[in-house]
Structure 1
């Protein structure tokens, strides 16, 4: 068994698509109209046949309080892995992305948290180099 699709609740699919593609570098895999919304999935260009990220509309009544509580508590909705966290944070900051947590070491990972402009916090992680002190 493997993960095929995972979703993130977004306030606006068009805005989310622009942020996740233009800023983070994901690519559209599926964009299928479904009434007032779309089945809109993205993939990493590094894994075009990998797990898809569904930009899920935040319409359900439980989503607003759920997202608000996560953001208030500083909890990231999802985590994306990068090879060089400091370089990625610089690239994204230079393009206008706002980070709510600067890079820090956290056990086996180095991490930072950004605001996706669609109601979520997203964690970026870099795996620590084995044996590094």
Structure 2
């Protein structure tokens, strides 16, 4: 049996603010942009991984959600408690500088050698999600 990742979902409250982070700073290509009942899903992916997609979705993709549920999801998103995604990179320092210089994400952690064998850094995207970038250490 062969199981592979196909898609992961990241909640965002404003796709137009999220796209400069994911598309421009990270270099992901937009593969699809779909709207339905005042909601929007934008599918992106790395050209190096054509069969893996990241979908930017509304925090609560339910047109019948109560106002209380909508407020609760918005609060969780603003605190960065809904998602965490880790991207792999060959050069975490260059990735960090590219994203930082783009000015579209909040720096949470500068590149650091971790005791568990990776060098990584972290940002918050414009919606508040923690997004990490890691590079396997050699040796």
The bucket for the TM-score relative to the shorter chain is: 0.7 to 0.9
CA distance in 2, matches of 1:37, 1:76: 19
Task: Please report the RMSD computed on the Cα atoms of aligned residues, expressed in angstroms.
Answer: 2.1
Shift of 1:69: 5.1
Partner of 1:111: 120
Shift of 1:99: 1.1
Superposition TM-score, scaled by structure 1 size = 0.82
- The gaps in structure 2 that reach 5 residues or longer are 62-68
Shift of 1:109: 0.7
Runs of 4 or more off by more than 2 Å in structure 1? 59-71
Asked whether the 8 Å contact 1:44–1:50 carries over to 2, the reply is no
Q: Deviations over 1:67-122 (max 9, x none)?
A: 35545xxx971111111011111122222243111111112111111121112111
- Answer yes or no: is 1:19 the counterpart of 2:27: no
3-state secondary structure, aligned to 1:18: helix
- The gaps in structure 1 that reach 5 residues or longer are none
Q: Residues 98 and 5 from structure 1, CA distance in 2 versus in 1: closer, same or farther, beyond 3 angstroms? A: same
**How many pairs were matched up?**
126
Asked whether the 8 Å contact 2:79–2:128 carries over to 1, the reply is no
